Amino acid sequence: MSLLASTSPLPRLARALLAITVGLVLALTWVTASARGASSPVGYDLSYPQCEAPPPLSTSFIIVGVNDGLANNANPCLVEQLMLASAAPGLARPAQPGLSLYLNAADPGPSVADWPLPATGSPSAGTPYGTCDGGWTRACAYLYATQRAGYSYGLALTAAPGRTATAPWWIDVEIDASWANRSSSREWAGLNIAALRGYAAGLRAAGARGRVGLYSDAYQWRAITGLGERASKSYFPSSEHDWVTGARTLAQARHACASPFTGSVVTLAQFTEGPNDRDYACPPSSRRARR
């Protein structure tokens, strides 16, 4: 039972002083813990799988996933996780803001209800690949992605209007999502590349001004895009840094800082720890963009 909810006959002034004292103690605990975490290059990423997990007491930075697995669903605990991330102090070196965001990417094709179709008028916007005709084309994959990115950006904007535009955004690229493959189209790689370019463009069009990057690993990236490091540079700008997954320990994460999957710079390396995903902010000395 809470002390403040007790039926003890404390005078009103005493109860008020007790409330202030409890609040100050909790605040001091958070500030002290944050001060300890502020110098740590290890943070967390949180999304719907962590809705029931105990939140970290303090950390230097948190990356919050805005979706519930798919880019057309909302993370049910987005507001709570954004509040937690907003209190993270970030890092000065390597530069890492307290709050970053990510969305779940996919390229599911015309079988989904929100695929752009001529009947709804949604393909009217032009794309770098021409006009979308409603089929599984590069133009439609790009347009689908821009629309899903805009929706995802809107989720974060509603929950954290003051931080969404300037926060870094990451595009989650994993084989568990629905992508074009060899059995669905001979142009499967081009379709997925177009979609990934659309997600980045959709975030920019929605108002994202912070860095936009890509989350994956070399195996998943090649399986989805057909690209290795060298070829990726022809499609994705070097300004889109890598957040590398796949490490099981902090030591492995440190090593992953020198292994970009797109040939760009590795900013973050993820590793697992209990129910939470941890993330190591790669120091500038270990980051590498391959020529």
Which residue range is the domain that position 275 belongs to?
42-281
The amino acid sitting at 100 is: S
The model's pLDDT over 240-258, given as tens digits with 9 standing for 90+, comes to 999 999 999 999 999 999 9
In this structure, is residue 1 part of a structural domain?
A: yes
pLDDT for position 173: 98
CA angle at 45 for the pair 189 and 279, rounded to the nearest 5° = 85
Q: What is the mean pLDDT of residues 74-93?
A: 95
145 and 193 assigned to the same domain: yes
Q: How confident is the model at residue 215 (pLDDT cuts 50, 70, 90)?
A: very high
The domain that holds 130 is classified in CATH as: 3.20.20.80
In whole angstroms, how far apart are CA 232 and each of 33, 70, 213, 222, 241?
41, 24, 13, 10, 12
Alpha helices in 91-235 (DSSP H): 138-159, 188-206, 218-225, 229-232
pLDDT for position 76: 97
48 and 34 assigned to the same domain: no
156 and 270 assigned to the same domain: yes
The model's pLDDT over 176-210, given as tens digits with 9 standing for 90+, comes to 999 999 999 999 999 999 999 999 999 999 999 99
The model's pLDDT over 37-65, given as tens digits with 9 standing for 90+, comes to 457 999 999 999 999 888 887 899 999 99
Whether 225 has a pLDDT exceeding 70, the answer reads: yes
What kind and span of H or E run contains 260?
Answer: none
